[in-house]
Chain A
């Protein structure tokens, strides 16, 4: 235990030294193993044959059937590739749209001195009282009367106007150093120019955090795509996975390969952007 930081070291030394630490690491290690089991199962089953998955004896390691990947994408009855494309389009456009619309509104509410800004802000807050999940019935009614069922528009647009994301941006911009904006004004920029040239480039960490969370929740969203995606051609990957579970004709190894592929992009995004994500969550208490 050579890496003892001086401050914590004083506190730690009393509680059992190496032995206490060993106990701590054993406990954390066991918990970590339990948390990793589902990931292990996905990978093991995705790279197995059906016989190995359903076999009598538990096989610790799969036989690494990399061919399962091409089998999944070549299978015309599954339409998995198409649902991945749908998810990607929906998640990317939802993220870009939400960031654009909500950040502008958050900035307006926080920094533009308009007389009734607070009234508008409280009206936005009031909409947070009704959780969006509960309003899916009337939202569906609205979207279907617009003729947006089974379209990207129907999947994306109703989700862009998140009062909560707007609220988070407002809170963030309230703390943005105003000296930077003042400098921009001295240079003759209006509100719009100052926002794009000064405020946004200096807020990329926060944008990255919100983008990650929005992307993950759009990718993982289930109820709304289930309501809107009535035809298989407009299914997102979550709806496709859900249909595999009730569909008796899809093979085990393909289902698990599909699950693995549906999770993989997120795991990468997650590991790559984790620093901002953790920071963002700790700052705001938001959930992806």
Chain B
């Protein structure tokens, strides 16, 4: 392993082609240094990410109740069990409904806020901060405020106070699934927390739209407002919009915190996929086999979505905001 290369090669690509220049000692040896720099991370990644994934796949084919070192191979029974047991399919339905609410609303609100803030000429930083600030709040803290103050089912809750001014009766927002008011609670909470974050992404994208496009449109007689928005702004934001929608979908898929704290795991409605996994594997039944099977199914579904997205817009979560 004495491959030494030119100093200061910028590309991570194989440096074989460049003429080798001898260096003294280990300090300048690229191979040794590569493993020195990446070794701690790769070892940790192997132990805490790759091993659990492999173990999980293995467990999903075994009867692993109350044990993580099972010996009874049962083939696909765990998959059959979790897919026929109503809890897990129901949770996928919950996710679908949730995504149908939260993805379009967050997209529209964050884009709307970005458009507004982008037009401000003074106090712009202030307003941007206000919309961005909820990103710092945890879902647990927000769930607490939503559950115990805003949408508290009793009369002193803010929502009930406000509708009381208009003569409406007190609504039990969360304790009763019909009508499903709990969606209002859950969706407004997530909207509040995440819109500011996506607003920042849209703001960055808006500022990258060349001003000449608008000038040219003005010369061509396009009306400011809807016309320029529809034919310039929106198409220019397409890559960001796609990325935002994908990020929103994946985040909605992994929803846990606010559902766990607002709806609770004992309710028969609005149980998300992760809550089902939590209950299956770590609840009273401690069925690691079925829980792992569910995790494998969820991972495959997320991979599928990511790959489909990759087909459409090229790889790279890191480049998408450009």
In the complex, chain B residues whose CB is within 8 Å of the CB of A131? 250, 253-254, 299, 302
Given contacts A117-B12, A191-B33, contact A41 B150 (CB under 8 A): yes
Given contacts A120-B42, A283-B321, contact A191 B144 (CB under 8 A): no
In the complex, chain A residues whose CB is within 8 Å of the CB of B42? 105, 120, 124
A93 close to chain B: CB less than 8 A: no
B143 close to chain A: CB less than 8 A: yes
With both chains docked as a complex, state the minimum distance between the C-beta of A164 and any C-beta of chain B, in angstroms: 7
Number of interface residues of A (CB under 8 A): 122
Complex CA–CA separation, A281 to B298 (angstroms): 27
In the complex, chain A residues whose CB is within 8 Å of the CB of B218? 11
A203 close to chain B: CB less than 8 A: no
User: B138 touching A113 by the CB < 8 A rule?
Assistant: no
In the complex, chain B residues whose CB is within 8 Å of the CB of A200? none
With both chains docked as a complex, state the minimum distance between the C-beta of B131 and any C-beta of chain A, in angstroms: 6
User: A35 touching B130 by the CB < 8 A rule?
Assistant: yes
A85 close to chain B: CB less than 8 A: no
Given contacts A127-B49, A255-B148, contact A190 B138 (CB under 8 A): no
In the complex, chain A residues whose CB is within 8 Å of the CB of B203? 282
User: B52 touching A108 by the CB < 8 A rule?
Assistant: no
In the complex, chain B residues whose CB is within 8 Å of the CB of A193? 27
With both chains docked as a complex, state the minimum distance between the C-beta of A73 and any C-beta of chain B, in angstroms: 18
In the complex, chain A residues whose CB is within 8 Å of the CB of B37? 104-105, 107-108, 112, 191, 195
User: B38 touching A181 by the CB < 8 A rule?
Assistant: no
Complex CA–CA separation, A135 to B52 (angstroms): 7
A158 close to chain B: CB less than 8 A: yes
Q: How large is the interface on B (under 10, 10 to 19, 20 to 34, 35 or more residues)?
A: 35 or more
Question: B33, B133, B225: which contacts A190 (Cβ < 8 A)?
Answer: B33
In the complex, chain B residues whose CB is within 8 Å of the CB of A267? 133, 136
Complex CA–CA separation, A134 to B14 (angstroms): 35
Question: A3, A11, A138: which contacts B52 (Cβ < 8 A)?
Answer: A138
In the complex, chain B residues 41-68 whose Cβ is within 8 Å of any chain A Cβ = 41-42, 44-45, 47-53, 55-56, 59, 68
User: A8 touching B5 by the CB < 8 A rule?
Assistant: no
Complex CA–CA separation, A132 to B298 (angstroms): 11
Residues of B near any A CB (own CB < 8 A)? 3, 5-16, 18, 25-28, 30-31, 33-38, 40-42, 44-45, 47-53, 55-56, 59, 68, 113, 116-117, 119-122, 127-150, 154-156, 158, 161, 192, 196-197, 200-201, 203-204, 211, 214-215, 218, 224-225, 243, 247, 250-251, 253-254, 256-257, 260-261, 264, 274, 277-278, 281-282, 288, 291-292, 295, 298-299, 302-303, 306, 317-321
